Amino acid sequence: MIVDVNLIINLTLYLIALTLAEECSDFIDNRAELKRRMGSELLVKLTKHFIERFLQRKARDYKKIDLNLLENIAYNILRDGEYYATTNSIIVFHPTYTIISCFDGEYLVLKTIIKTSELEEKIRRLMRRARRIKWRNIIIMSPPMKRK
């Protein structure tokens, strides 16, 4: 039985998007939405899940981890990363981290973050088809966090 590699990749991305779908409410074709917004202003929402995953999967030890550090890391990945869009999600590849996100209304919702070195081979193949996007401006909005 011969199975198309692209079919396997698309099914894998679809399953990832389904498991993380609680962050995005209405169906939006992320591929079309990314094309429509290319070169304009990007409004980004950090989720609590994204922050928790960063703390679990950080690539190195940071002296101090706070919301400002997370915003700067997300900004750098979105500014310098390469984008690959499917109908369900947008993957941003960067040498250090990879972000999986989706559009929800006017916002790009960052759902999770993974160390790029730990990506599976089938997702690494998508990196070859990813493209850079120059944004006019990137605005990152953080979730309200309780102060201790």
Q: What is the pLDDT of residue 83?
A: 96
The amino acid at residue 89 is S
The pLDDT score that the predictor gives to residue 7 is: 61
| Digit-coded pLDDT (tens) for 72-105 | 999 999 999 999 999 999 999 999 999 999 999 8
pLDDT at 103: 93
**Distance between CA 119 and CA 104 in Å, rounded?**
25
Long-range Cβ contact pairs of 57-66 (< 8 A, separation 24 or more): 57/113, 57/114, 57/115, 57/118, 59/96, 59/97, 59/115, 59/117
Domain range annotation of the chain: 5-141
Looking at residue 57, its pLDDT comes to 86
Q: Answer whether 138's CB lies under 8 Å from 131's CB.
A: no
60: its two tokens: 């190195």
Residue 12's pLDDT is: 64
Task: Tell me the CA distances in angstroms from 22 to 16, 74, 103, 110, 123, one per residue in order.
Answer: 12, 20, 12, 12, 22
Q: Which parts of the chain register pLDDT below 70?
A: 1-26, 145-148
> What residues contact 123, with CB distance under 8 A and at least 6 apart?
9, 12, 13, 91, 98
Distance, in Å, from the CA atom of 116 to the CA atom of 92, rounded to the nearest integer, reads: 10
